[in-house]
Amino acid sequence: MGFWLAEKRTGQRSSFIQRFDPRFWTINFPRPMMASVVTTAADALRVDAIFYNSDDLAGLIWESEDTLDHPLLAYETVRDYARLKWEFHWRSSGIMPLDAINGPTLTIEGRDAAGVAKSWYVRLWNYASGTPTDAQISIEFSKMDGGFLLPGEADPVFPEDIDRLSISIIPPDYDGLGARYTTPKIGWIEMSGIRTDGRGAVLEIGDIMLPENGLAMATAYDDSFNQTPERLLRMVRALGYRGSINHYLGMSHYFRLETLGEGLYVSLSAPQAGEEYAAINQPATAWHRDLITRAEAMGFSLILSLSYELFDAHCWNDWKQRAENGDPALTGWEPPSTLLSPANGNAMAYLQAVARAFAAIARDAGAAIRFQVGEPWWWIMPDKRICLYDAAASAAFGESSVSITNIDGPKTEAQNAMLDQAGALLAQSTADLLVAVKDEAGATPVETLLLAYLPTILDDQAPEARRANLPLGWASPAFDILQLEDYDWVIAGDRPATERGVALAIDQLGYPIAQQHYFTGFVLQPADRFIWANMVDAIADAQARATPEIFVWALPQVARDGFTYFQEEEEDVNAFDDVQFPLAIGQNASVSPGFSTRIVTTMSGHETRNSDWSDARLEFDVGPGVRSEEELRILIAFFRARRGAAKAFRFRDPYDHSSREMVGEPTPNDQLLGIGDGQKTEFSLVKGYGDPAGEPQLRRITRPDSASLQIAIDGQVTGHWTLGPAGVIAFDTPPSQGSDITAGFRFDVPVRFSSDQLQMNQATFQAGEIPEILLVEVREGS
């Protein structure tokens, strides 16, 4: 397996789209309002919106630069709109009409002819024919003016340097004052027949279709609510992901809200006209119906994930888990979310109503219902206070309620009894949630899944926490599938911790590996791109455990960092003889890099050739180094012992076999293996090519010459380590935080014969004809 963090297309297949393709519009707005955009045809889109305040405003946005798609799939950046004509049909209801003073306005952000940043405000009604809610709009960018009344207030648009277009969507009685509506306002717009003509009417766009990679994808509504489902699914499919999509319904965008005093709180009031469900808002309903329907048509199986997490500002106060002093359970997000108490009947009834709504959408779309309870737990504060003390929980525990000031360490018998009771409450709440989903599903089969976050649940410092947060009530067959994630361990590169954690979860809950899924890692910030390598290691470990489905978390980070995962033709050396090639070939060998190319059909139907490897695989011709009949006999004997191409072996590359430059004498400070964090004990041998101060290409070294190996910590040679398989250095104790781990070594390349036959003739050999004897590098490690 391998991966590539692509920054741009480098020769991969591209095709063309019409500028203003409906798939690539986005929607944005301030809290608490909500809006969504979906495609309704190849040339049409629809926006649904809900307004809570008289100053709510959404923008339907087209970006000149595509910053949301994977770099191999993004459309080209073109800021010049001169001599472009744009036409579309506009329909709307429940929003400010086109002819009003604050009617839909096209805001154009860019620069004027002098290069000075400027925005123009174009009244769409000035370019419309029809009624204020049903009109044909035609815009020629080179003849367009900002301003309300034309020609008197004309502000000519400079169309050659535009960054962004945004169409405003506001409630019909917008006044800019922010007054709270007694009843929220529901509205929508439709743009159809979208077409462009003239210069720049089409844009180049990535048209790759990577081979299936054996992995599944994870998405989240809170991360992707502003995009169209069609755009997201295009990315997932094109990048090689198949099978399941685990979709987190989120904690901050799906809910309906109602007013209480100055606040807005999640609502179960009866839907008003234009709404379908009591628990979820109409924009979220429309968006998820489109996502589920499209996923089903494309052969994806969507898993709907609902957690006990809710946006704090809109959560009823008595629903929140609380610490012993009354502090609410708050996450570290900004603004924060909170955790619902499994003991609070109203909070759990709300979750059940949310689950029913999404299950109904899937059922009515004809899709399978796969429902995940995502990371349900009693929250543990950063200072290790466990939140078991909200009013409903205290009432449920009754006289069993005792003080637990810190979850770490051993606990008294009474404290353990309370934790066991908390676990039973949690398990019962998840069981009730599944009953609600199955009841809503009716005759539609339901698959139930539980997602557990191992580093928190199985914290070695808090051995009794699992009584509350990994309760025996979850043991098989309470759920059909146990899903495990461990990104703290993945970030740290602590693969043994994952192995222990999975074993403990199996021992506690009894789900065999055939009933497990695995979620690998999370790259929160662009600066943490190194984590992708750890994630690929974790994928390899999950595959070695024979985990049926492995999910990459999550699509926005995959797109942001250009993560491109692929299965190589030859993943591991499944047969290796740890012996050297027997002949001293020296400089007579020739070497050439090679790439793997797969011929596939793109989404547009074109044939394309995709390079699968981020690094070349070396190929050596050692024929020129065979200088005598004796060496020829040695070669034949070695070939037979390897059974042709069946077994790999070591080969010393005459041009590159040292950590110091290419063939220099190794020193312990040649190559940086990593930075110590006080926890990680294993570091892989690597060799960097290129400027160390930049982004050097890193090559895994799996076959070092052990006699030449030297290891240093902060420049000081150390002997407290062992060399493991695949060139992994295992320290006796973790190197300290911030320490530089370096190494020097000579190394061999793992190779095999390229063929099961050697083509040679003694007569021609004696006459000076050089045989071609090819050795091909094989990949080891991950």
What does the pLDDT look like over 258-313, one tens digit per residue? 999 989 999 999 999 999 999 999 999 999 999 999 999 999 999 999 999 999 99
Region 434-444 average pLDDT: 97
Residue 399's SS3 state is helix
Spatial separation of the C-alpha atoms in residues 564 and 558, rounded to whole Å = 8
Contact 437, 354 (CB under 8 A): no
Quote the pTM value: 0.77
- Nearest alpha carbon to residue 731 among 782, 781, 680: 680
Tokens of 247: 């979709």
d(CA 508, CA 551): 23
Return phi, psi of residue 284, to 5°: -65, -35
Residue 466: what pLDDT?
96
Residue 730 sits at the vertex; the CA angle it makes with 728 and 733, to the nearest 5 degrees, is: 160
High-pLDDT (> 90) share of the chain, %: 80
Which residue has tokens 């699968």?
612
pLDDT at 573: 41
Q: Give the per-residue pLDDT at 639.
A: 85
Please tell me the predicted confidence (pLDDT) of residue 621. Answer: 84
**Scanning the structure block, which residue is given the tokens 């950063």?**
382
Q: Please give the average per-residue pLDDT across 560-589, as a whole number.
A: 73
Predicted confidence band of residue 607 (pLDDT cuts 50, 70, 90): very low
Give residue 438's pLDDT: 98
In sequence order, the β-bridge partners of residue 734 are: none
Q: From its phi and psi, is residue 261 left (phi > 0), alpha (psi between -120 and 50) or beta?
A: left
pLDDT for res 571? 43
Strand partners, 484: 452, 518
State mean pLDDT over 391-417: 97
Q: Considering only residues 125 and 597, tell me which one the structure prediction assigns the higher pLDDT.
A: 125
> Who's near 124: CB < 8 A, 6+ residues apart?
90, 98, 103, 104, 105, 106, 137, 167
Share above pLDDT 70 across residues of the chain, in percent, rounded to a whole number: 93
| Whole-number pLDDT of residue 769 | 57
What pLDDT, on a 0 to 100 scale, did the predictor assign at position 698? 84
**pLDDT tens-place string over residues 198-236:** 999 999 999 999 999 999 999 999 999 999 999 999 999
Question: What is the structure's pLDDT at 597?
Answer: 44
Q: Please classify residue 431 by burial: count the beta carbons closer than 10 Å to its beta carbon, then call 0-12 exposed, 13-18 middle and 19+ buried.
A: middle
**Cβ atoms of residues 754 and 645 within 8 Å:** yes
User: CB under 8 Å to 33, separation ≥6 — which residues?
Assistant: 49, 50, 51, 52, 53, 56, 57, 58
**Residue 772: other Cβ atoms inside 10 A:** 14
Query: Does the structure show a pLDDT above 70 at 620?
Result: yes
pLDDT value of position 763:
53
Q: What is the mean pLDDT of residues 156-185?
A: 96
Say how far apart CA 37 and CA 191 lie, in whole Å. Answer: 11
Pick from 460, 473, 343, 320: nearest CA to 401: 343
Residue 527: exposed, middle, or buried by beta-carbon count in 10 A (0-12, 13-18, 19+)?
A: exposed
277, burial (CB in 10 Å: exposed 0-12, middle 13-18, buried 19+) = buried
CB 240 within 8 A of CB 566: yes
505 band by pLDDT with thresholds 50, 70 and 90: very high
The pLDDT of residue 741 is above 50: yes
pLDDT of 491 > 50? The answer is: yes
Banded model confidence at residue 766, pLDDT cuts 50, 70, 90: low
- Provide the b/e sequence for 642-656 (b: ≥16 CB within 10 Å): beebebbbbbbbbeb
* Integer Cα distance of 14 and 4 in angstroms: 19
Backbone CA torsion sign across 78, 84, 87, 92: positive
- pLDDT in the model for residue 618: 81
Taking only the tens place, the pLDDT of each residue in 671-708 is 999 999 999 999 999 998 887 777 777 889 999 999 99
pLDDT digits (tens, 9 = 90+) for 135-157: 999 999 999 999 999 998 999 99
C-alpha 710/C-alpha 741 separation (Å) is 11
- pLDDT class of 568 with cuts at 50, 70, 90: low
pLDDT score of 595 = 44
Q: Check residue 325 and give its pLDDT.
A: 97
Burial call 80-93: b when 16+ CB within 10 Å, e when fewer: ebbbbbbbbbbebe
User: Chain-wide mean pLDDT for the chain?
Assistant: 91
Instruction: Supply the DSSP symbol for 758.
Output: -
Question: What pLDDT, on the 0 to 100 scale, is given for residue 626?
Answer: 78
Give the Cα separation of 95 and 134 in Å (integer): 12
